[in-house]
Chain A
Amino acid sequence: MLEILTQVTYWVTWILIVYYSIYNGLFLVVLLRGALEVSREVNWPSSMSLSEIFANPLTPGISIIVPAHNEESGIVDAVLALRNLRYPVTRIIVVDDGSTDATFEKLRENFGLRPSNRELANAPHHEGRVIDIWASRSGDLTVIRKESVRLRSDAVNVGLRAADQEIVCMIDADSLLERDALLHIAAPFVADPTVLAVGGVIRPANGVSVSRGAVTKVEMPKKWVERIQVVEYLRAFLVGRTGWASLKGLMIISGAFGAFRREAVLEVGGLDITSLAEDADLVVSLTKKARDEKRPYRIAFVAEPVCWTEVPNTFKALSTQRRRWSQGLGELIAKQRKMILNPRYGVLGMLTLPYFVLFEFYGPIFGVVGAFVALAGAITGLITWQLFALAFFVSVGLSLISSLASVLIEENAYHRYSRLRDVLTLLLTTLAELMGFHLVHTWWRLQGVYRALFKRPSEWGTITRAGFDQEDRDVPTA
């Protein structure tokens, strides 16, 4: 009996070693591609291209869709910031998704909104009834009031009905864009007519200071729960998504900030309102349609940091968010299962989706079971400490190396944290993330896996926003 147990522990540990070797090995490939792409982007002389896009009458217009639910504290600043973006043609569409606070009243007072007779397009489908439509005198701001069905995607679909420009950009009301963000994100659309969607790097806004709608100072946040997310976002967005995009296998463009060719989004029926991962679902649907119809297409990603968004600042809120992400991923995988390992869908079908199934979705199961078996086996003497060390190296060691490499890429390319102290904190956080947070995170993800596998009802939850740190508004004039 003991011999069987020893054999089982031994082989489970080896499976764990192989599993994590493939996982981290693949991620290191993605990281390397991401690093090369980031380096290319940073060094490429883009200032002229951006100013040419800004100055040209042929630049495609952008409809910016901002779904807003009870955002009275920040909605006016958000719209002002969007109006100040450097881009020639923008149409802002705020969808007031059944707010019970003064979100609409604040918009009406500050922007002189008047009732509008504007007709909305028939597609895409949405559930919540449109109450009325308002527009600013200059016509660049439209506010649509609708009944809420507690789904962000439903609000975005209403916005899509009002979008009339070639490109649609979806942004959260609590996200803040860099001044040139739209120029950066429009550049791939201009340069390549086959580009269907462009994602941008998103960074946690916690800890940054904002003045007149622009980020003025970037510091590491005070709370560890926020700091850990800074490292995660660096690894996932800056390096991960840039790398996946360069491999032609990008699967997710975050709902917090992404731009899409309007016609392409309408062709797939807008956002799937039943999905918890509607952002990833949209990208996968666009890819699927283009591949099915054998049309040339490209999903691009801009490595330049362009969007700052507030991330959860409590473990409770973070746990809700991560459970939802995990559950959403599970639902997406179930929905698009025919694409998995299907050569028709290229890198997305043959590499990205299998990677997300095996390592991102089922990862927590391997993590929890494997870690328990390996640790218990080493303590009880069923496996040698050497074997345990090997398992530890390929799981924790390689992950730590990936995280540190991501920090190095950020420091080389953008170095947005101005103080050396912040850089040191960032390095320390990579250790903290892996040593403590990783286990907690795995547990939350496991809960999400359970909810997806057993088809539990979706849970959105509410994140309390602290708002951006505002610098003094009165800037002395010279």
Chain B
Amino acid sequence: MRGARAGWLLVLPAVALIAALSLYPVAYGIWLSFYNKHAFFPGEQFIGLANYAAVLADEEFWRSLRLGLVYSLSTIVLQLVIGTGAALLLNEAFPARGLVRAIAIFPYVVPTVVAVIIWKWLLNNQFGLVNYLFSISVSWFGRDWIMVSLILVSVWQFFPFVLLAVLARLQTIAPELYEAAKVDGASAWRRFLHITLPQLAAVLFVVVLLRSIWMFTKFDTPWLLIQGGGAEPYIRTLPVYTFQRTFAYYEAGRGSAMAVLMFLLLVAATAIYMRLWRREEQL
């Protein structure tokens, strides 16, 4: 009994820390979502579920949700394809492989603000290098292309995460499996399909889950892209709109309701994903 009490006492500081740093902000956010509260000035008024009703009736919320889904889904698919492809290449032996691997992860270590500034220069429609090199006249930050630019910058920045995770797993696949398949006459494509891909499944599951959460809640990249110009309404994803509602409309309550809904959407999507994965595993 005394041992159990001592155990509880020992974990108490950690529990208190988690409660203070994680649970309290979340609980406060949920509490705020039931109030009409200015973002900065004191005083609030309890309004029950009115913030949620207003959010669900707000066409701008649905539009930002749609834009957020377009952004996150396209970036996740492209990161997976490019990241896995790059990992397969970098798993092969060739001269200066170490250097190429180091260069490949470079975008991931560049701070987002630096990455965005670099790309804003490269894609500037009047004086940018991309338009100059390809002799094109694309308005990368205008209405028609700003989402493409955002996806491009995000994929460039985050595909190395997929690369690293997949490469790490590729290096642990037993070479005997490939040798046996070769002896059996399996082509490169069949070896990839029947050995590599199943071996990567577990890591890809985690990668897709993490990247989905991170891309759906991504705020800094779209926000930085529209500073000092940029057709903001066309990349006003849900995190951006939530921020605006809170700090530009000064509606902390409404902003919190949107953040709670965003959280619930992610929980629901994760639960469905996990269930599908389990079913797949059982099969």
Q: Do the two chains bind?
A: no
Q: Which residues does B use to contact A, with CB under 8 Å?
A: none
